[in-house]
Amino acid sequence: MKHSFYTLCIAVLLLFSCNTDDDLFIPATPEVEGPYATGFLVTNEGPFSNGFGTVDHIDENLTTVTSSIYQAVNNDNLGNIVQSLTMTDDTVYVITNVSSRITVVEKDTFEEIIQITEGLNNPRNMVIIGDNGYVTNWGDPAIATDDYVAVLDLNTNEIVSTIAVAEGPEEIVAKDGVIYVAHQGGFGVNNIVSVISSEQENVVTTIEVGDVPNSLQFDTAGRLVVLASGAPAFTGNETGGQFTIIDTDTNTAVETVLFTNTEHPNFLNVVGDDVFYYLGGAVYKTTVADFTTTSTAIISGSFFYNMTILSDGTLAGCNAADFASNGTVELYDTTTGTLLNTLNVGIVPGNVYEIN
């Protein structure tokens, strides 16, 4: 059954790439920066189970949204559930989860280069080291043992190898050729970070963190900061959130801060010495060095599906509303906690990315 689906995907791929090939072979025109060379990109998951996700563009001033830019440029859609995107200097890789597809586009124009489907199975997030992309894949969500990190050759746009990992790999980051994967656990619960050598293409070690590690970033000292939300009540074994700092030289947890059993924090953002996280409709700010779960909320009464602190310090919160209509990106001043602007984006906005 799966095979016939892949055959279909390839068939569709061939079909669509015929159209784009025409564009690709137009004689090179003088280098002009396309409309999307600067500003921000928003991934919108799109409606669950039917329909497709989109990518919106927001201008540098965070005022004007251009909707569904991939569709507008390519007269095609990105597929079902746009999970994340990753960019290099000139290329954007948009990962579509249910459609198991990576759509490769020119960064400044969003013109499609190719669609990759072979070798992907429920892809989630990608990190780039040199000429390779590393993509977390759930595999079949019902099977705990088929999860992997796919290695994408960015020159050939082919998956060249896979690295088997534990259940539910989600966020992925890298430093000095070493890859760190947070195992959120897919539809279940997991509590580890996998450390992968990009050279050896194998798992060097796993580090235990809190249940359901949802975000991981490096601090200014190069240590890995992990936020786990804890196991939710419906698992029958509820655990609280956990903040963990990992020394990447020894791959051990050097600091752990526990939340109470019913607190499930999310959306870690490390900005300089500060840490922002989201819990129960409020945004909290504390510090890496002296992480506390008892700081005062800087923003409350919000309803975020994700949040990102942009480089100018603005907080971009994705509000998916009722998940069945267009969402918004809410921009907040993190110093004063005031709402600066609300931008209308697509259905179920999942993240905001700064074009750099």
Based on the shown chain and the rule CB under 8 A, indicate whether residue 251 belongs to the binding site for other proteins.
no
Residue 151 or 320: the one with the smaller Cβ distance to other proteins is 320
Q: How far is it, in rounded angstroms, from Cα 2 to Cα 43?
A: 27
- CA distances 36 to 33, 90, 197, 316, Å, are 8, 11, 34, 19
- CA distances 208 to 50, 184, 275, Å, are 36, 12, 21
Q: How far is it, in rounded angstroms, from Cα 214 to Cα 292?
A: 18
CA-based diameter of the chain, in Å? Answer: 61
Based on the shown chain and the rule CB under 8 A, indicate whether residue 236 belongs to the binding site for other proteins.
yes
Query: Given the rule CB under 8 A, which of 33-41, 73-81, 152-160, 335-343 is the region that contacts other proteins?
Result: 73-81
Residue 147 or 219: the one with the smaller Cβ distance to other proteins is 147
Based on the shown chain and the rule CB under 8 A, indicate whether residue 72 belongs to the binding site for other proteins.
no
Task: For the CB of residue 9, give the shortest distance to other proteins in the complex, in Å.
Answer: 8
Query: Given the rule CB under 8 A, which of 10-18, 126-134, 166-174, 244-252 is the region that contacts other proteins?
Result: 10-18
Query: Given the rule CB under 8 A, which of 57-65, 128-136, 141-149, 332-340 is the region that contacts other proteins?
Result: 141-149
- CA distances 219 to 206, 244, 249, 307, Å, are 20, 12, 14, 18
Residue 76 or 247: the one with the smaller Cβ distance to other proteins is 76
Query: Given the rule CB under 8 A, which of 54-62, 96-104, 156-164, 218-226 is the region that contacts other proteins?
Result: 96-104
Based on the shown chain and the rule CB under 8 A, indicate whether residue 337 belongs to the binding site for other proteins.
no
Query: Given the rule CB under 8 A, which of 77-85, 152-160, 248-256, 310-318 is the region that contacts other proteins?
Result: 77-85
String marking each residue 274-303 x if it binds other proteins according to CB under 8 A: ------xx---------------------x
Sites of contact with other proteins (CB under 8 A): 1-2, 4-5, 8-9, 11-12, 15, 47, 49-52, 77, 79-81, 98-100, 140-143, 187-188, 229, 232-234, 236, 264, 266, 280-281, 303, 305, 320, 322-326, 347
